[in-house]
Amino acid sequence: MRLTTKGRFAVTAMVDLAMRQTRGPVTLAAISERQHISLSYLEQLFGKLRRRKLVSSVRGPGGGYRLAQPIQNLTVAEIVIAVDEPLDATQCGGKENCKDDRRCMTHDLWANLNKKMHEYLSSVSLADLVAQQAERPVAVLHDKRPAEKVAA
C-alpha cells in the first residue's frame, strides 16, 4: 500500500487553501509557489476536487478557489478519494483473485488494513490539519505573509 503524490499533493493543497481562504479566493499559482507543486498538476487535481464538490471556483480578477464545504466536514479520505487515489493494500483490488485467480493467504490482512486506513483517514478532518499547522508556523515557510489562524 502506498499513497502516491496525487493524494499527498491534494491534501497539502487543500490545507493551504483552507488556511488562506479567509482572505478571499486562493489562486492555484499561489499554492503552486508556496508548496512547490506544478501548476498544471494542481489544475488537474482541482478539476477533480471541483467535480466532487469539495472546492468551488471563482472566475475573474481576484478569482481562485474556495472550499465548497466547512473545513470540519471535509476529511482526508474524501480528498484522497476525490483525486482517484486508491486506498487499497490488496494486490487484487478487493476482487479476491490475488493468487492464480484465487484468494491469497494474506488477503484478510490487507483488506483489514484497508478498512483501518479508511477509518483513520475518515476521522481526520481538514480542520484538524489546519489546527496542526497553526500550532507549527514553521511548516508554512513559503508564504511571505503570516498565516492566519482558522477557527476549527
DSSP state of 13: H
CATH 1.10.10.10 at 5-86+126-140, yes or no: yes
Average pLDDT over residues 18-36: 95
Give the C-alpha separation, 34 to 75, whole Å. Answer: 22
Q: Average pLDDT, stretch 33-48?
A: 96
Q: Is the pLDDT of residue 147 over 80?
A: no
Q: How distant is the alpha carbon of residue 108 from its chain centre? A: 27
Q: Which residue has the higher pLDDT, 61 or 72?
A: 72
Q: Which residue is it, cell 474524501?
A: 78
Which H or E run contains 46?
helix 39-51
pLDDT average, residue stretch 68-77: 96
Which ranges in the chain belong to alpha helices (H)? 5-20, 28-35, 39-51, 76-82, 107-123, 126-135
- pLDDT at position 2, please? 59
What cell does 65 get? 478557489
At 43 the pLDDT is 96
Strand partners, 75: 125
141 pLDDT band (50/70/90 cuts)?
very low
State the DSSP code for 149: P
- Strand, coil or helix: what is 70? coil
